[in-house]
Amino acid sequence: MTHQEIRDRARSIIGDKCKVCPDCNGLACRGQVPGVGGKGLGNSFVRNRAMVLERKLHLDTLVPAEEIDTSLHLFGKAFKYPIFAAPIGALELNYHPSLNDLTYNERIVQGCVDAGIMAFTGDGAKMEYYEGPLKIIKAHEGLGIPTIKPWDNETVIKKIRMAEDHGVTALSMDVDAAGLILLAMAGTPVYTKPVTELKEITDSTDLPLILKGIMTPAGALKAYEAGAAGIVVSNHGGRVMDDALSTIEMLPEIAEAVGGRMTIFIDGGFRSGEDVLKALALGADGVLIGRPFAVAAYGGGAEGVRQYAEKIGQELKEAMIMTGCHTLKDATGKCW
C-alpha cells in the first residue's frame, strides 16, 4: 500500500465527512462538528494550521556529519520519534461507522507501537469508549495513554484505577472538553477544574498526569502547581472554541513558563516532519497529530498508521539534517 493508495481508500470510505485534502487545514470542513472540522466558523482549526505554516526553519548544514538521533525518552520508555497519535473519539459519528472507538483504537495503538511511537486514546459518554482502548493498551505492554474527560472527580479517580489496572504508561485529561454540552445532554456532564480538584486527582495516583488543552502560561503554571507531569498545548483541534489563538503561537510563552519542569506536548495543524521540528524548536518535547492519523487508520488499518508515522519520522530526520541537528535538543531556537 502506498501513501496515496491509503489516502484514496480513506476518501472512498470517509469522503462524506472528510475530503482527505492534500493539506489538512480546516478549510473544506469548516464548522463541521459533528464531523472533522472546527467549531463554529472553524477559525481555530484554520488558524492552527496557518500559523504552523507561517513559522520557518533555519537551514544550516555546516555541521559535522554525525548520526541523527530522533529518539525521545519519556516516562521510563524510549520512543523512535517525538510523535504521538492524538486521541480521537466518536468515530462512527465524526468519520464513518466502519470503525468505532474500539476498532479504531486497535488500529491506532497497534500501528503506533509498530512504528516505535505511542498513541493517546479517548473517553466518552459510554464506558466502552474508555474501557475498550484500555484493554488494547494492556495487550501492547501498556504502550498508550488514555485521555479521561473532566468528569466529576469521583468518576475520574475511578477511571484512573481502571487505567492503573491495565498498566498504562501515563494518563491524560482533556481539560478543554469542559464546555462540551453534548456530554451533559447525554447525562454525563463534564466540568472546569480548579487547582484544588486537579491536585486531588494527581495525589490519587503514581502515574504521570498530562493535562491536554492548556493554552496560556497561567494555565501551564496552574497545571504545574497541581502536580501534573506534562501538558498538551492544545485547543482540541479547534473543536471547542471558534476564536482561540493557535497552539504554535502560544507555545514559546508557555515553554518559557514551565519548560524544563514539565513535559510539553503540542497539537493542532502539525502535518509534516518539518512541522514537528518547528514545535521542538519553539519549546515542545513532543507533538501529537490528530486527523491525519484517522485518515491513515481508515485507509490502511494498523499498517497505514505505521506507515504514516514512519513517513513523518523520516521527514523529521531529513529536517534535522537540513537544520544541523543531531539530537532533538539541538532543535532549540532553530525556527522563526
Ligand X SMILES: Cc1cc2nc3c(=O)[nH]c(=O)nc-3n(C[C@H](O)[C@H](O)[C@H](O)COP(=O)(O)O)c2cc1C
Contacts with ligand X by CB under 6 A lie at 36, 48, 86-89, 94, 122, 147, 174, 212, 234, 236-237, 239, 267-270, 289-291
Nearest residue (CB) to ligand X, 65 versus 163: 163
Nearest residue (CB) to ligand X, 292 versus 300: 292
**Do 166 and 141 contact (CB within 8 A), yes or no?**
no
Nearest residue (CB) to ligand X, 88 versus 257: 88
Smallest distance from ligand X to CB 67, Å:
30
Smallest distance from ligand X to CB 91, Å:
8
Nearest residue (CB) to ligand X, 268 versus 304: 268
Smallest distance from ligand X to CB 333, Å:
24
Smallest distance from ligand X to CB 210, Å:
10
Helix (H, G, I), strand (E, B) or coil at 107: helix
Cis status, amide bond into 194, omega within 30 of 0: no
Cell 507531569 sits on residue: 229
Smallest distance from ligand X to CB 64, Å:
34
Distance from C-alpha of 20 to C-alpha of 11, rounded to nearest angstrom: 6
Smallest distance from ligand X to CB 236, Å:
5
Smallest distance from ligand X to CB 76, Å:
23
Q: What is the CB neighbour count within 10 angstroms for residue 324?
A: 16
Type of residue at 215: M
Distance from C-alpha of 325 to C-alpha of 323, rounded to nearest angstrom: 6
Distance from C-alpha of 115 to C-alpha of 81, rounded to nearest angstrom: 9
Nearest residue (CB) to ligand X, 97 versus 260: 97
For ligand X, which residue has the nearest CB? Answer: 290
CA 250 to chain centre: 16
Nearest residue (CB) to ligand X, 222 versus 239: 239
Nearest residue (CB) to ligand X, 147 versus 263: 147
Pick the closest to residue 264 from 303, 300, 232, 241 (CA basis): 232
User: Side-chain half-sphere of 180: how many Cα atoms within 13 Å?
Assistant: 25
Type of residue at 233: V
Which stretches of the chain are DSSP H helices? Answer: 3-14, 43-54, 91-94, 101-114, 127-139, 153-165, 181-185, 195-203, 217-225, 247-258, 273-281, 291-322
